[in-house]
Amino acid sequence: MASVKLLTKLGYDVEALRQPWPVGRPIHTCHPPDKQALKIPKNEDDFVMDVEVKVLNDEKTLFHLILGEKEWFLETKVVLEEVDIKNIASITARFAPPGSTVCMQADTHGAGNVYVGLIMTFEGGFIPINMISGDIGCGLSIVPFVKDGKHIQELSNVKESRKFYSYALAIIRRTLKRGRAAEEGGFLSKYISQAIDFYGSIELPQWLDEMRDILEYVDIPFDSYKDDGEKYDCLTKEQSAVLRYIGRYAQSLGSSGNHFMELSTDDQGYLWAVVHSGSRGLGAKVYSVVAEACRIINYYNGFVCEVATGELAVFYARVYDALNKFAKLNRIMCAVAVLHDLGFSSDTKSLQHHMRESFVFKPAIQACGSDGEAMLSLMSGLTHNGIKAYINDVSKEVHYVLSKGAIAMTKRASASIVALRAGDGCYVWTLADQSCPWVEVDIRVALSKGYTPVYKTDGVIFSGHGAGRSRSTNKTAAMSSFEDVNNFFESNDVIGNIAPGILGDNPRIAYNDVQTIIKHLPLEIACTKSQLKTKVAYKEGITYTNKHIDNCARFINSVWSSSSNEKKLWFDLNLCQKYLDDYEGKNKEREAILEKIAKEYNLSLERSH
């Protein structure tokens, strides 16, 4: 078993862990251990701890939490339901250091046994990895559309722009990996070198050596890739094999879920690619092994949850740092691959240059002066599902922050990308204050410093990461139809993907109004701010059932003959294939439409695989 092998490699006495539960050993949760599953209990009565909650203000947004002799504080940006406060108090008592403050953002909503919108401090030797789960490093990045040395603006001709955006939606589907290719590793993305160049701060050989060690520790084989293709320049045969293996998980948003890619315009009409994704199938594979190892250790030590302690915490810090880098690279690979297939520049140096010169980033870049690391921090996108470490070399302090669907950023140099609903796009704002001594570093770097942990600092800012769901996916799907979603796209001048899974993400009713989140952003200290409006919305969605697939196919069948050529490119035929009338005929017609438009734009339909 991979988890047992991992524990052995990390120096744990696995045989001792197999012994019966020690008599008299205390259980550090509110429930007895599950000797079979060793998982966090799903029953709400088991999950909720008896934490005393005291309201500290009239607005009911500040609370004092008490459990025995330990205490915490809870701050919320909006008023939450009593049951949510109770559940969040339990999460706080389980995972947050006593004396610390948990901050809930304006987009707070429940997701299983965790809450999106949560920010809490953690300790370097006690990391609740279950809060992050398998989607390590999930976040957003934006990349400009560049052609012939210019950042491209939106087409002024409405008819022509609608044709281009419909074509772009179809190309996104063709270019990004989907289904099994996304989750199990398919073809090798050829854009990983461009993504490495884009970030600059990631040293490819060292990162690949770290990924090799991690894959070996969690018993994920990659030997079969050693003789699979040529050796890359400046890389050893083994490093090339690791690159080929992990590259097969890149250029993907994932096979389903809340991740998306959008083409958007800023306040001056310039085009940007917006990518929301994480470490995908690779992160999930590695996480599953580490999580199981945590459950084994914690069962013996009296915890029934996926918390990394001791050597497992040190190893998870390595895992997180490496996979967070992969998530960042993956987002750039997605953007660059689509830009290339649409006939735009995929040269990362040119893309970086136009990011620096855009009004979205330029004032913040200038404020950074000659601080190259700060400039890269501004342009490297944002992780909103992960763990972060901020260090102050002056005071010798470290602040560890866990963000579950929330934003933590340093005032020194950061860019925040807040995802709104499709149609509203996203809100981008930057911070650039070189007098701020707090700098974000890798978790391993922070652990090696030996600095004094602190639970709060004025140099690190928190905010919501998105509009926030007003209804669950199941409730949204039950209240929606594909006609609803189609009409929303039409009325908001958005070219949107019509697929079975989007019913649970109906933008009209699934998310809060844009002002719900924007009014709670700390924009008074922002260096720059801009709203990127959606022009093309690609998302596969979450609600995949045969009923949804059948209903989506019925809708496509009913409107196909009356739809324009461009509109026919909105329909995700592949995902509805088994229920569509004459799929082959519709697919041929779609390919002919694509080929005609490609010839008009002098483009190739060859996929970037």
Block residue for tokens 């008299």:
24
The answer as to whether 283 is a domain residue is no
Domain that holds residue 55: 43-112
User: In degrees, to the nearest 5, what angle opens at C-alpha 28 toward C-alphas 24 and 29?
Assistant: 120
- Say yes or no to pLDDT of 40 above 60: no
The answer as to whether 75 is a domain residue is yes
Mean per-residue pLDDT over the chain, rounded:
87
Of 109-113, 448-452, 470-474, 538-542, where does the model show the most confidence?
448-452
Number of structural domains (the chain) is 1
- Say yes or no to pLDDT of 211 above 90: yes
The answer as to whether 66 is a domain residue is yes
- Say yes or no to pLDDT of 213 above 70: yes
Across residues 474-478, what is the average pLDDT?
90
The answer as to whether 442 is a domain residue is no
The answer as to whether 478 is a domain residue is no
Question: CA-CA distance, 345 to 339, in Å (whole number)?
Answer: 6
The answer as to whether 599 is a domain residue is no
CB 232 within 8 A of CB 240: yes
Token code pair at residue 568? 């026919």
pLDDT in tens, 252-306: 887 557 899 999 999 999 999 999 999 888 999 999 999 999 988 877 666 657 8
The answer as to whether 52 is a domain residue is yes
Question: Euclidean distance between the first and final Cα of the chain, in Å?
Answer: 34
Q: To which H or E segment does residue 306 belong? A: none
3-state secondary structure of 219: coil
3-state secondary structure of 582: coil
> What is the amino acid identity at position 188?
L
Block residue for tokens 């490609």:
598
The percentage of residues in the chain with a pLDDT greater than 90, rounded to a whole number, is 65
pLDDT band at 182 (very low <50, low <70, confident <90, very high): low
- Say yes or no to pLDDT of 603 above 60: yes
Token code pair at residue 337? 């691959």
Q: DSSP string of 108-133?
A: EEEETTEEEEEEEE-BTTEEEGGGTT
The answer as to whether 17 is a domain residue is no
pLDDT in tens, 332-356: 999 999 999 999 999 988 999 999 9
pLDDT in tens, 73-89: 999 999 999 999 999 99
The percentage of residues in the chain with a pLDDT greater than 70, rounded to a whole number, is 89
| 47: nearest Cα among 101, 88, 107, 103 | 88
Whole-model pTM: value is 0.92
Q: DSSP string of 189-235?
A: PTTHHHHHHHH-S--HHHHHHHHHHHHHHTT---GGGTTSSPPPTT-
Question: CA-CA distance, 286 to 37, in Å (whole number)?
Answer: 19
List, in order, residues 6 or more apart from 58 with CB less than 8 Å away.
none
Across residues 63-67, what is the average pLDDT?
96
CB 349 within 8 A of CB 336: no
